[in-house]
Amino acid sequence: MARGPAASWSCSRPPSNCGVPDAMTASWPTTKTAATTSLDASSALVPADNFSRSMTGGAYRVTRINGTREVLARIALATNDCTATVFQSEPWLAAIGRGLGRDGRGELVALDIADASNGERVALLPLTIARERRRTVARFADLEVSDYRGPLLGPAAPRDKAGERALWAAVKRGLPGVDLIRFEAMPAEIGGRPNPFARRHEATPARLKGLSVTIGTTVEAMLRDRGKKYRKEAERCFRLLEKQGATKFRHAETPDEIHRAYAVLEAQQSARQMAIGQAYVLDQPQYHEFYRDLLITERESGFAALFTLEAGSEIVAALMGVVRGGTFTLLRISNGGETWRHLSPGRLIVIEAMRHFVERGIRTFDMGAGDYPFKRGFGAEETPLFDLVAAGSLRGLPAIAVARAKAFVRNRPALMAAIGRVRGKG
């Protein structure tokens, strides 16, 4: 299945590239708990530690791990036998954990779920648990920066309804005291394995979909496939750009290069959002530090990458993303504004990034959540995303009703249009 994270031409995240996050009311309280039950000898794949608590019941055993260091250690052990989206990978979650620590917002929690009969891993769920509006809410670990969320799926992940029910029961056993479970923006498949949480009957289509492009042979062949008009327009823009001065596509690799390019990306995005009258949030400390830290920390591993497109001495576009396996995931993109708009520098830097990565064997370009015209221009294919919102106590029931009402309206375009017209009149 094609995967589809992120951008409008001057895209602002989070959480859906150009959206503004809800008010951040979470305090992320987490308390480390000593182990109360040791795992038996069959649990080699899911070891216990001093910061975990194991609970057995039904077909699956669940171990709850508290603390960022302990969660990341468990994820590192699970990497070889689990599939996950890039936003549940070890380097991304490590950056999330550092962000939580910088902001004083607690630590990561995880549920490690195994087959009770043989200890084979079923799933590993990296989570945060927060107090939000007088409710205790569990979510997949995020700082409003991840386009996709979901579990790490192990080799014993269920593929039938009985297994899915058993897994859900294990999750609820591992989250005592939680009033609301919000598993949002989940792909239906993760690494080719069906996502059991997206298949539950309570799951509803998410507000956004993912979009991605796979290059079969060369970027030039892909451009030809988009039609003569599209290809000729891209070629014309490249020619006009070259007339403005020597054109350079650069990979920012040193700390100084990263700081310079990242500052330009932020300034261009901020200017764009102000020009169209939208609030810009990515220059707020928690977001600024998250992306800057990710770029600096992962510059040598190759996980995070930042590029610029220059004409003469001016940066006309910037692009940031992460690499995992054969996929580059676009996180943020910007351009030089109205002066350069006629040259579509955002499109040009994407094309140059595609050439860069195809030469290195990376052929899938994850454009992220959000259906923007430029993504369709590249022939991006959709990846449906799903939300699962479930009550853990009576306090969670009102949120369930609200979530279902929103999903009902969202899936009826005529009703959404009517509501939009009424709001416009107001």
DSSP string computed for 352-370: HHHHHHHTTT--EEEEEES
Please indicate whether the domains covering 52-209+384-425 and 216-362 agree at the CATH topology level: yes
DSSP letter, residue 22? P
Task: Tell me the residue type at 425.
Answer: K
Alpha carbon 69 to chain centroid distance? 21
Helix (H, G, I), strand (E, B) or coil at 135: strand
Total Cβ atoms within 10 A of residue 93: 24
Burial string for 24-46 (b: 16+ CB within 10 Å, else e) reads eebebebeeeeeeeebeeebebb
Burial string for 309-344 (b: 16+ CB within 10 Å, else e) reads bbbeeebbbbbbbbbbeebbbbbbbbbbeeebeebb
Q: Which residue has the tokens 């993912």?
A: 210
Residue 52's pLDDT is what? 59
Counting Cα atoms < 13 Å in the Cβ hemisphere of 336 gives: 19
Residue 420's pLDDT is what? 62
Bridge partners, residue 312, by sequence: none
- Per-position pLDDT tens, the chain of length 426: 333 333 333 333 443 333 333 222 222 233 333 332 222 322 233 333 445 566 666 799 999 999 999 999 999 999 889 999 999 999 999 999 999 999 888 899 999 999 999 999 999 999 999 998 889 999 999 999 999 999 999 999 999 999 999 999 999 999 999 999 999 999 999 999 999 999 999 999 998 999 999 999 999 999 999 999 999 999 999 999 999 988 999 999 999 999 999 999 999 999 988 888 888 888 889 999 999 999 999 999 999 999 999 999 899 999 999 999 999 999 999 999 999 999 999 999 999 999 999 999 999 999 999 877 888 899 999 999 999 999 998 887 777 777 777 766 666 666 656 656 666 554
Residue 365's pLDDT is what? 97
The answer to whether the peptide bond before residue 205 is cis (omega within 30 degrees of 0) is: no
Q: With contact defined as beta carbons under 8 Å apart, do 241 and 247 qualify? A: yes
Helix (H, G, I), strand (E, B) or coil at 91: helix
At 346, phi and psi to the nearest 5? Answer: -60, -45
Q: With contact defined as beta carbons under 8 Å apart, do 198 and 388 qualify? A: yes
Q: With contact defined as beta carbons under 8 Å apart, do 213 and 381 qualify? A: yes
Helix (H, G, I), strand (E, B) or coil at 280: coil
Closest to 55 in 3D by CA, of 68, 64, 46: 64
Bridge partners, residue 187, by sequence: 385
Closest to 331 in 3D by CA, of 7, 98, 92, 85: 7
Counting Cα atoms < 13 Å in the Cβ hemisphere of 32 gives: 10
Tokens representing 188 are: 């239906």
Residue 57's pLDDT is what? 62
Report the alpha-carbon distance of residue 319 to residue 321 in Å, rounded: 7
- In CATH, what is the architecture of 216-362? 3-Layer(aba) Sandwich (3.40)
Q: With contact defined as beta carbons under 8 Å apart, do 96 and 108 qualify? A: yes
Report the alpha-carbon distance of residue 331 to residue 6 in Å, rounded: 5
The answer to whether the peptide bond before residue 15 is cis (omega within 30 degrees of 0) is: yes
Report the alpha-carbon distance of residue 276 to residue 274 in Å, rounded: 5
- What is the C-alpha R_g of the chain? 22
Outline where DSSP puts E strands in 67-179: 109-115, 121-132, 135-140, 152-153
Q: Which fold has domain 52-209+384-425?
A: Aminopeptidase (3.40.630)
Closest to 290 in 3D by CA, of 94, 8, 6: 94
DSSP letter, residue 174? T
**Domain boundaries in the chain?**
52-209+384-425, 216-362
